[in-house]
Amino acid sequence: MTDAVLTSRRRRALKRHDGIPLYLQIRNDIAGRIESGELEPGTRLESEPELTRSYGVGRPTVRQAIDLLRREGLVATIRGSGTFVANDPNRISLLGFDGLTPSLRAHGIEPSDEVVSAAIGAPPLDVLTVDSPVAGWWVVERIRSLPGPDGSHPFCVETDAFNLDHCPDAEELFARSGSASAVLDEGYGYAIAQCDIANRAEKASTVGVAAKLGVPRGFPVLVMERLNWTASADAIHAVRFVLATDRVPIIERLVNPTIAG
């Protein structure tokens, strides 16, 4: 990641009497600098004090602007490091059949993983349901982190479960690749025909990830459950993502199949 483009030495003029909120003008200015290439992916934005001096506004106004940029996926905040221009933010998805690891790697992001537990058990589903196979499920939980200038920062607790009736060597294959999609596609040649997805917002303490993600107990997290099925209607893989979305923007694009491209 690169250093911020310093602008705090000169004041950026805002139009204070044209009816456009100041926070939106700041958002538009920063977004324009991103779109023009002045602020490249990975560039660290100025700190809040620098931005308040640069724009001549208070911190609440700056925070509104940054919050809006973050919700739009243009920037991502890493706790303790700062706010950075997102790396191709509109392409990071949890809905793609390639999986999260290949999606991150395709955009030059190499996550680091810490395996928390691995054992035979039940799939990590609270909303979705599936009948347990005869051999059970092999379940692995890991903390996933993004690289930062001062070390890695956790952004996701991911729990994968593999149907051992169809993937008896899942543990060995997962140890080699660290990727669920690699286990399914490369190890067994399974193509995911369809998936069920359930999303909800929770407090970090409710789903037991506050310490793992290094966030306050009341911190809001996104919980996504996903159940993948083969063409023969077998539940082959289940996964639960618990994400601190202020650290990596999750933006999905859905295509209307009735409209020809």
Domains of the chain: 22-85 (1.10.10.10), 90-243 (3.40.1410.10)
| pLDDT at residue 115, as a whole number | 95
How, if at all, do strands 137-148 and 220-229 pair?
Answer: unpaired
Q: Which two tokens stand for residue 49?
A: 């004090």
Residue 9 one-letter amino acid: R
Cα angle for residues 182, 188, 194 (degrees, 5° grid): 75
- If one counts every other C-beta atom within 10 angstroms of the C-beta of residue 158, the result is 22
Tens of pLDDT, residue by residue over 174-223, are 998 888 888 887 667 777 778 899 999 999 999 999 999 999 999 999 99
Cut 0.75: pTM above it? no
Characterize 103-112 residue by residue with b for buried, 16 or more Cβ atoms within 10 angstroms of its Cβ, and e for exposed.
bbeeeeeebe
- State yes or no: pLDDT of 72 exceeds 80: no
Average pLDDT value for the chain: 82
Among 81, 209, 248, which Cα is nearest to 148's? 81
Q: Which pLDDT belongs to residue 9?
A: 41
Residue with the bigger pLDDT between 25 and 203: it is 203
Q: Which of 72-81, 91-100, 203-212 has the lowest mean pLDDT?
A: 91-100
By the 8 A CB rule, do 218 and 203 touch? yes
Could you report the per-residue pLDDT of 150-181, keeping only the tens digit for each? 678 899 999 999 999 989 999 999 998 888 88
